[in-house]
Structure 1
Amino acid sequence: MRIQLVGYALALFASTLLLACEADKQISEKASDPQPQSDINIEQASQSLWASFRENTEDASLHCGFLQHAINQLLTKSQLETLYAAQKAWHNCANKIEDLNLLTQLNLLEPSLFQSIDNSLVYINSKPIQGGYLDRFGPYLYSGLVHDIGINLNSESLRHQHGLTDKEEVVLGIYAIEFMLFGEQGSRPPNDYLEQKTLSETQQHQQFRSIDEVPNNRRRQLLLLQSQLLNQELLLLQEKLQADKSPANVWPKLPARQQINSVHNAVTTSLSQSLIQLSQNYSTNNETIDSYFFENLHAQLYSLNPALNYYSTHERQALKQALEQAQSLAHKASISPQTKTQKQQLLEKIYTLMQVFI
């Protein structure tokens, strides 16, 4: 039976990749069509799009401020209660950052246009990450910045180390904080954040020269800086979205066809990623992981709502219905345990959604 389930998951994954390729083909064909869809109110669509980006950024900043407070509490009193509170605050913050998903996709598709905000997004939501670049991982008990005492932990050094030689060498942002709070497979103990005030005899024998070099204290410092810098970047992103050189002021001047194609491409890319994540998640049996995964998925789908204004009236009605159904299913999945059959139904629903958008 397990072999059949794995085989089915692989088949879904393969079909997902094929659908993503078909989506790219369809978008290329649409891009060659010089005629914009005449019943789309481009001015209204643009205003709604950027208003949502500003609103979502402000909301993310608020919830990540709560996360920073929870992390401060954890570092003040490291115990299960404060660790769980920080992890819960992380999920709330991460979901709000996923509301910026459409903005992130457009940034990747139109890099020259979004250049002024690119750095902020890189420091906010870079993924995937290499956990071993930050802290112990698997059999490597002394890996990562936590144990590399040759690197000073400060804002400048963390920005320098972020993506230094590979894009997965992620030091900053919400997903780097995730690893620091949850550890490998959610196994982070609160003792990891207990402050050590004196060097033990063993540490002195190991030639630790300062209490600041102790892993626990470096881990505390790293997490504190990560949370502070995340909030700084979100505030900076809010400012950039309001600035004179903001892409929000350039975007409305783009040809209607370019705006439409960019948004459609961003939507299809986002949904392709969601399908792949669902396929990979299909064999998961951990109900807690499932709950958080579907919360995150719901946020990704929710972020696409402003894009509906860039479709014709006829398309918009069908797309809105399909999107609302997928959002509802993801929300239900986030609040109740999911069987294999229920996961399959959700995957098929989003697969159908992708076909509607194409």
Structure 2
Amino acid sequence: MTRKIGIAVIGLGPAALPHSRSLIDLAERVDVRHVVSRSQQRLDAYRQQFPFPGTTDIEAVLADPTVEAVIVLTPPSSHLEVSARCLAAGKHVQVEKPLELTAARGADLVAAARRAGKVFGVVLQHRFRPASLRLKAALDDGELGEVEAALLQVPWWRPQSYYDEPGRGTLARDGGGVLLTQAIHSLDLFRSLVGVSRVVAAQVRTTGLHRMETEDYVGALLETANGAPATLVTTTAAYPGHPERIEIIGRKGHAALVGGRLELAFLDGRSETVEAEGSTGSGANIMDFPHDAHRAVIANFLDAIESGGDPVVTGEEALASQRLIDGILAASRR
């Protein structure tokens, strides 16, 4: 039987739902020792849904030798502080996206993890969807041929009530708007598939549909790793919200990844479809998606702990995606 790894979860915001469901599925591999929140009320509400022991005492959790790893689900503004404390206590860490408010603070977190010598992963789960994995294999194996052009669209919707919650859409808590908070998942996947070598130009704005500090619309012209043209459009102002879309034009075929559904069409007449697992959280219900990809992220994190290697989404990988976001925002100011 596989050894169970003792885990603690710190932070019980909305992201705790798919993570907790995933941990239940992975019960043969993990022993959830604690879930932590500063709010007793939030803990009580959480424990009506999930059987894990709760506490408001983070120091007790960090001192618990049975806790080998921690999943950090606190707001981005606290990722560096909380994760660094966990690493200093000898724990492996998996942190929710983004790494931190800024790429500079994210780099500090990645460096702290490397110094600690602990497994450090970031929750960018779109890479783990079956359709995403099939598309990456098609690109890596040369099935689509040389990339000639690519497209990324994230036409999501968030109502004003979403941004009315304290800290939402602010630099102080979230670090950014649609790019860093919503589109980072698709942007990270896109970058892992075709690479981005240059930001050619960008437009960034806050539309009249929202009252918020940060942006809710971004358009950009990019170049892929091989210099092919790429286009990005992402927003949270596209009512009622639509699945994100990645298209790749190759010399041997075309790929369209819409939400979690992939269609491959090859110039030799072959075609292939990988069906979606469910919704993607593109509308007002931000948790309207299956937890399968989160389960895969956590399983990959556990694999890395057991093998002593790196997870698929390392700190460096997440930092590269965050720096790309910074580059798009900087291009808009130019």
TM-score scaled by length of structure 1 = 0.26
TM-score scaled by length of structure 2 = 0.27
Higher percent of residues as strand: 2
Higher percent of residues as helix: 1
Structure whose CA Rg is larger: 1
The answer to which structure, 1 or 2, has the higher relative contact order (CA under 8 A, 6+ apart) is 1
